[in-house]
Amino acid sequence: MRKIIYWTAILITGFGLAGCQSKKPASTNAPKTVIKSTQLTQAQRQKQFNAICDQVMKPINAASYGAKQSELVADAKAGKQKLADIRLILQNNTAQPEANQRLLAYIDKADQVLDAMIQNNNATYQQATKAFSDQTTAIARQDYNGSVPTSMVNFAKRQQADTQK
């Protein structure tokens, strides 16, 4: 969020109104902001899809092993920061807008899971993880030939093995 606000401030000041411009020339050492749109390929979008899932699965996996709440909160906060970075990448992507929008909505679901972990709210966590899992499966089917991220597959296999013991 800070990056967006910073970029917006630079854009606003960089395109100042004609009557409000300073007569002094801008410093040549001043940072310049360039808005760059990208054209992510299918493989690059899938890499982002996997990265989003990984940010959620890391603290979920840690919780299943009995990690302390303070560790889960730290993992969740770090995951939220990485999700914010991925969001910026996707917001600048102009290729495949429908698939891109699905990934941006997926980040929202991921954020909800991580927020529930940070707040230690079990009811919200249960709802958010179900919605996240459902959306993971839907995106995998629709955009990636059913290929679910490895972190989720490994977690599911481990959970299944634990219940069969």
3-state SS, 112-127, equals HHHHHHHHCCHHHHHH
Could you report the per-residue pLDDT of 101-151, keeping only the tens digit for each? 999 999 999 999 999 999 999 999 999 999 999 999 999 999 999 999 999
User: How would you write 55-69 as a 3-class SS string?
Assistant: HHHHHHHHHHCCCCH
Could you report the per-residue pLDDT of 35-73, keeping only the tens digit for each? 667 899 999 999 999 999 999 999 999 999 999 999 999
What per-residue confidence (pLDDT) applies to 35?
Answer: 60
What per-residue confidence (pLDDT) applies to 43?
Answer: 94
* Model pTM score: 0.76
**Average of pLDDT values for 20-31?**
51
